[in-house]
Chains A and B, each alone.
Chain A
Amino acid sequence: MMEQTAALSALGLSKRYRRGGPWALREVNLAVPAGSVTAIVGPNGAGKSTLIRSWMSFERPTAGRVLVDGIDPWSHRSEALARVGYVPQSASLYRDLTVSDHVDLAAILRRGFDRSLAVRRLAALAIPPKQRAGDLSGGQQAQLALALALGTRAPVLLLDEPLASLDPLARRDFLTLLAEVVRGEGRTAFLSSHIVTDVEQVADRLVILSVGRIMLDQDLAAARATHRIVVAAGILPVNTIGVFAGPSGEQLALLDAAGSPLGRPATLEEIVLGHLAAGRAIDAAAADWAA
C-alpha cells in the first residue's frame, strides 16, 4: 500500500559504510506522502544525507530498501531518477561553466528538461546567464542548483541541506521560491536541514532523525498539538520523551501529551531538541549495553 501512495519510502532501511562499523541508518521506515513538503532535521552525522542519497541510488542499502514513486532506484536507476530533481549539499556546480552552460548541460543530460522554466527562474532572480558559477554568491549558486532541479519537472525534489552555507536572506529567498513552486505545481519536496526556523517556514511535515533512527515522523500541526513542555524538576512524568537544557539553563522535558493539560505547548525547536535528546539517550544506553 505504502509503495503505491508514497512519493518516497524507506522500508526497513539500514546502512553502514563498512562491515562492523557504526550504523548510519537503522531500520528506517518512512513514507513521504505525494504533494507534501517534508523536512528532515537532525544533527550532523544523523544520517539525513545517507537517507537522501539512498533515494538517489548513491548509497546501496545494507539492509531494507528504498523506493521512489514505488520504484527501487538500485534495480531501476534511470526510471527512479527520472522522477527526482536533486539539490545537493553545498551546490556542487562546475566552477568554470557559466550559468547558461549549466542550463545547456542539464538539457543535454536530462530528457525533457524544461529549459525555459529554468531560464525564467534564473532571470526572475536576476542571476546573470554569462556569469561563471564560481563567481556566483552562495545564495545564487543554491538558486542555480534549485533552478536546474526544477527544470527537470520531476515530481519529487530531494534537497540535501541546500541552505547550510547561506545567509538568512538568501535562505529566505530560496525557501520562498521552493514553497511557491512545490505548492503551485503539486510536487513533493524532501528537505534536510538543521535549521528549525527554515523548516517551520516551508514544511508541512517533520521527520526527526537521530543517530540513524527516526525519532518523529508527523505533520507539523499534529506535532505541535501532541507535544508539551514542562520544567524538569524531580521525578519526570512517564510520558517524557527527552530532557534538554532551556535557553536560561533550566532543564526542560518534552512530553508526549496529546490532550494533556500539563505544561505549555512546545515550540517546533523544543520538539526537535526533545527528540534529539531522546535519541542521544537511546544511543548512550545502547553503548552501555555494548560495553
Chain B
Amino acid sequence: MDWLRRVLVSARVSARLSIRIQRFEVVVATLLMLALSGGAVLVTGRLSSVGVSERCLERWIGGGGPFSAGTCLNSMQQWAAINEDEAGKVMAAMFVLPFVAGLLLGVPLVGRELEARTAAVAWALAGSRRRWLAGRMVPILLLTVSIAAIAAMASSLLEGARSGNGLWVSAFNDASLFGPPVVAHALAGLGLGMFAGALLGRTLPSLVVGAILAVLIANASIGVRWRSVPDSNVIQETPSAQLDPAYDFRWVTADGQILSRDEALATVPSTTVDVVGWLDEHYRPLYLGPSETTAAQWQQSEVAAYLLGSGALLLVTFALVDQRRPT
C-alpha cells in the first residue's frame, strides 16, 4: 500500500504544480465558465418567475402570436423578451465559451512551455516526454471537464425553461448548446490548444490558430446537424411542438385529413373568438420537425465525434511532443 500512497501524493503535487504553472489561465477559464453557468441559472430563474403556462404557449404559437394570446399577452411578451434576448445570449455564449476555456487551458500546456523554454528543463528532468505531458495534462483535463460539466448542467436547466417543454424552441435547434456537447466543446478546445501549442511553440499564434480551427469545426458541425435531419417536407410527428422556420405543423381532422395552418384557419367560423380553442376542439395538432429523440441522438453523435476528434488530437500532440525540438 506504500506505493499507492506514494502515487497519490505524487498525483496531488503534480496537480497542484500543473495548475499553478498556468494559474492565470486556470482562473480566467474557471471564472468564465462559472459566470456562464451563473448566467444560465439566473436567466432560468427569470423565465420561470414569469410563470407562463403551457396553455399560454400553445395559444401564442397555435394562434399566430400576440393576436391570439388574449389574457396571456403580457406574460407571454415578457417571457418571450427574456427568452429571445437574455436566454439567447447565454445560449450563444454556451456555444462559444467552452471552446474558449478549453483553448485557454490547452495552449499553455505545451505552447507556453516551449515559448518560455521551460520545456527543455522539464524534458531533461523527465526523460520521458509522454510521461511529462500526461502529468501536466491530466489535472488540466479534469479541471476542464469539471467546469464544463457545471456549465452543461446549467445550460440544460436553461434549455428546459426556454423551450417551454418543446413548445417554444426545438431541442434540436439548441442541441449543441446544452448538456454533454458543452463538455465536448471544451475538450475539443483543449485538444486544439494543445495541438496548436505543440505545433507552433508560441502562445498567441497558437490561440489564434486554435480559435480559427474551433470556428471551422463548430460551423461544420452545425452544417452537418441540419443536413442530418429528414427533409422538412417529410411529415414526421414529434411528441411536442417545434417552432423553427424550417419546420411546420398541421392539423389532423377526425377523418385523418391533414390540413395546413391556413387551411385549418379557413375552416374556423368567422365569429369564433378563441381560434386556438376551436382548433384544439375540432382537430388534433400534428407537429413537424425533428423530435426530441432526434435531438438526443444528435447530441450523442456530436459528443462521440468531438471526443474521437479530441482523442486523435491528443495522440498527435503526444507524438509531436515526443519528436519536437524544444526552443
Q: Do the beta carbons of A92 and B126 come within 8 Å of each other?
A: no
Say how far B318's CB is from chain A's closest CB, in angstroms.
14
Say how far B104's CB is from chain A's closest CB, in angstroms.
16
CA distance A90 to B120 in the complex (A): 11
Which stretch of B10-18, B48-56, B146-154, B209-217 is in the interface?
B10-18
Chain B residue nearest to A60 in the complex (CB): B325
CA distance A77 to B325 in the complex (A): 13
Q: Do the beta carbons of B127 and A108 come within 8 Å of each other?
A: no
Q: Do the beta carbons of A106 and B17 come within 8 Å of each other?
A: no
In the assembled complex, B135 has its CB within 8 A of some CB on chain A = yes
Chain A residue nearest to B23 in the complex (CB): A96
Q: Do the beta carbons of B120 and A108 come within 8 Å of each other?
A: no
In the assembled complex, B282 has its CB within 8 A of some CB on chain A = no
Q: Do the beta carbons of A94 and B125 come within 8 Å of each other?
A: no
Q: Do the beta carbons of B128 and A78 come within 8 Å of each other?
A: yes
Q: Do the beta carbons of A109 and B120 come within 8 Å of each other?
A: no
Say how far A134's CB is from chain B's closest CB, in angstroms.
11
**Among A59, A81, A93, A113, contact of B124 (Cβ-Cβ < 8 Å):** A81
**B residues near A36, Cβ cutoff 8 Å:** none
Q: Do the beta carbons of B116 and A92 come within 8 Å of each other?
A: yes
Known: A58-B325, A92-B120, A148-B121. A81 touches B17 (CB 8 A): no
Known: A88-B120, A96-B21, A96-B23. A106 touches B125 (CB 8 A): yes
**Among B20, B127, B326, contact of A77 (Cβ-Cβ < 8 Å):** B127
Q: Mark B90-108, 1 if CB is under 8 A from A, else 0.
A: 0000000000000000000
- Please provide the chain B residues from 277 to 327 with a CB less than 8 Å away from any CB of chain A in the complex: 325-326
Q: Do the beta carbons of B326 and A109 come within 8 Å of each other?
A: no
CA distance A110 to B326 in the complex (A): 18
**Among A85, A95, A104, A113, contact of B17 (Cβ-Cβ < 8 Å):** A104
In the assembled complex, B89 has its CB within 8 A of some CB on chain A = no
Known: A86-B124, A101-B17, A105-B17. A94 touches B118 (CB 8 A): yes
Q: Do the beta carbons of A101 and B20 come within 8 Å of each other?
A: yes
In the assembled complex, A194 has its CB within 8 A of some CB on chain B = no
How many A residues, CB 8 Å from partner? Answer: 32
**A residues near B325, Cβ cutoff 8 Å:** 53, 58-60
Q: Do the beta carbons of B17 and A58 come within 8 Å of each other?
A: no
- Please provide the chain A residues from 50 to 102 with a CB less than 8 Å away from any CB of chain B in the complex: 53, 56, 58-60, 77-78, 81-82, 84-86, 88, 90, 92-97, 101
Q: Do the beta carbons of A108 and B10 come within 8 Å of each other?
A: yes
**A residues near B132, Cβ cutoff 8 Å:** 109
Say how far A174's CB is from chain B's closest CB, in angstroms.
17
Chain A residue nearest to B323 in the complex (CB): A60
Q: Do the beta carbons of B17 and A108 come within 8 Å of each other?
A: yes
Known: A96-B20, A96-B21, A104-B17. A82 touches B127 (CB 8 A): yes
Q: Do the beta carbons of B120 and A97 come within 8 Å of each other?
A: no
CA distance A107 to B16 in the complex (A): 14
- Please provide the chain B residues from 165 to 180 with a CB less than 8 Å away from any CB of chain A in the complex: none
Using A101-B17, A108-B10 as known contacts, list a sample of 20 further A-B pairs with CB atoms less than 8 Å apart, ordered by residue number in A. Answer: A58-B123, A60-B325, A77-B127, A77-B128, A78-B127, A81-B123, A81-B127, A82-B127, A85-B124, A86-B125, A88-B120, A90-B117, A94-B21, A105-B122, A105-B125, A107-B13, A109-B135, A110-B125, A148-B121, A152-B125
Tell me the A residues contacting B by CB distance below 8 Å.
53, 56, 58-60, 77-78, 81-82, 84-86, 88, 90, 92-97, 101, 104-110, 113, 145, 148, 152
Across the A-B interface, the 9 shortest Cβ-Cβ residue pairs: A92-B117, A86-B124, A78-B127, A109-B125, A109-B126, A81-B127, A110-B125, A88-B120, A78-B128
